[in-house]
Structure 1
Amino acid sequence: MPSALFVVSEEGYWGEECVEPLTTLDSEGFEITVATPSGSPPVLDERSADPENVGEETAEWVRDVHENDERLNNPVSVTEVEAADYDAVVFPGGHGTEWDVNQDVDARRLLRNAVEGDSEKALVVCHAAGILAFTRDSEARSASERASGERSDPRASDNDFLVAGRDVTGFPNEWEEGIVDDHDRMPDGRKLPYWVEDEVKAAGGNWDAELDADTSVTVDGDLLTARGPGSSSAAAQTLLDELDA
């Protein structure tokens, strides 16, 4: 049976970006495991279940899955799982990922091992693309740790990132401008710690959010990236295609 690991934020995930791939893979017979940084249930960004933002049908669907899917309600910790045990590792987006998943050492390990592994795939959606700005490739990481004798700074070099030279998409600055205020504060008052597009570009990613297209999904080897909620369905189907499922 094919399997997929979902790494979901405890600080606020965007409903459709998790629920669409999860239900799509589930319908194709995938065994689904949900993991969060601490093992506590993921938190839904309420804006993603607000009918005024996403429409009544999507809002109802997202909330139903969030509240009733036992895998979302009983996750494991990212410390307990290995990418090699799954066919795909999926990182749903949402602003909340900027505060936990994207900078979590074990989440980065899962991404790195999925992309560098023999048969796994990684799908990174929307704001979760920010994890690419903090994930170094295994060769650079190992060399740095051997030299220092300790865990290395994930932003220590401009050339060691997993994303360097890869084609990617994700949540664009142009869209972020319509959400945060002049002080980079979110509607809930939290200050956005970084802008995903800027950081991924700084890490060497070839960024193109394809703003003129209805959807944006990019495949570069075993790394798949998707722009935002409207690309969730296309991302799930692309992942199935890449897995020959």
Structure 2
Amino acid sequence: MTNALFIVSESGYWGEECTAPLTALTDAGVDVTVATPTGSPPSIDERSVDPENVGEETAERVREIHETDDRLADPVPVADVDAADYDAVVFPGGHGTEWDVNQDSHARAALRTAVDGDDGTALVVCHAVGILAYTRDADGGFLVDGRDVTGFPNEWEEGIVDDRDRLPDGRKLPYWVEDEVVAAGADWDAELDADASVTVDGDLVTARGPESSGAAADALLDELGVDDD
């Protein structure tokens, strides 16, 4: 059976960016394991389940999954899993990833194994794309150097943080994803004129944000050769 490892933020994941791929892969028969940096249950960014932000239907669906999915309720520590045992590793986004997943050495190792190894595929969504700015390949270079990617763009970040880079909840954004990933050598295109943005470059699939989550899941299933009908 095809299997996938989801590495989810404890500091606040964006609901749809996790639940859309989680649901799509599960419905396609993929066996999913959820991991977090410490093994504690992931927390959800409350803005991603606010009906005023995402609509009542999305808010209700995402919150129900967050509150009832046993895999999210009882994750394993990312240090205790080996990405080589999985066909795919998925990194849902959310600002929270900037404080934990993207800075976690074991999460980076999982990404390197999935993308730079002989087998495996990685899907990295939205702010989680920032992990590419800090992940090295086997030769010590940036894993993302020379790769085509999409992710959360500066233009959108400008509409969220204040002039001191503070988020609505008061936390200061530690870095801007686009800036760091481009500095690491990526060929960045967030396709701002498109409704959704998903980029496939070898074993690396990246997605821009929540509205791209469904398309990203479909792209990953295609890469895995799994029929989602």
- Give the TM-score band, short-chain normalised: over 0.9
Q: Which residue of 2 aligns with 1:174?
A: 155
CA RMSD of aligned residues (A): 0.5
SS of 2:123's partner is strand
Asked whether 1:187 is paired with 2:168, we answer yes
SS of 2:136's partner is coil
Letter in 2 for 1:181: D
Q: Which residue of 1 aligns with 2:69?
A: 69
Q: Which residue of 1 aligns with 2:19?
A: 19
Asked whether 1:102 is paired with 2:83, we answer no
Q: Which residue of 1 aligns with 2:204?
A: 223
1:104 deviation in Å? 0.4
1:224 deviation in Å? 0.4
SS of 1:138's partner is coil
Q: Which residue of 2 aligns with 1:155?
A: none
SS of 1:139's partner is coil
Cα deviation, 1:204-228, whole Å, max 9, x if unaligned, reads 0110000011110000000000000
Q: Which residue of 1 aligns with 2:124?
A: 124
Q: Which residue of 2 aligns with 1:202?
A: 183
2-side partners of 1:47 and 1:188: how far apart?
Answer: 10
Q: Which residue of 1 aligns with 2:52?
A: 52
TM-score computed with the length of structure 2 as normaliser: 0.98
Q: Which residue of 1 aligns with 2:215?
A: 234
2-side partners of 1:138 and 1:121: how far apart?
Answer: 16
Q: Which runs of 5+ in 2 are unaligned?
A: none
2-side partners of 1:244 and 1:45: how far apart?
Answer: 32
Letter in 1 for 2:210: P
2-side partners of 1:58 and 1:110: how far apart?
Answer: 30
Q: Which runs of 5+ in 1 are unaligned?
A: 141-159
Letter in 2 for 1:86: Y
Q: Which residue of 2 aligns with 1:79?
A: 79
1-side partners of 2:160 and 2:61: how far apart?
Answer: 24
1:196 deviation in Å? 0.1
2-side partners of 1:166 and 1:81: how far apart?
Answer: 26
Letter in 1 for 2:51: P
2-side partners of 1:118 and 1:204: how far apart?
Answer: 22
Q: Which residue of 2 aligns with 1:135?
A: 135
Letter in 1 for 2:79: T
Cα deviation, 1:189-243, whole Å, max 9, x if unaligned, reads 0000000000000000110000011110000000000000000000000000111
Letter in 2 for 1:112: R
Give the aligned length. Answer: 226
SS of 2:67's partner is helix
Letter in 1 for 2:39: G
1:84 deviation in Å? 1.0
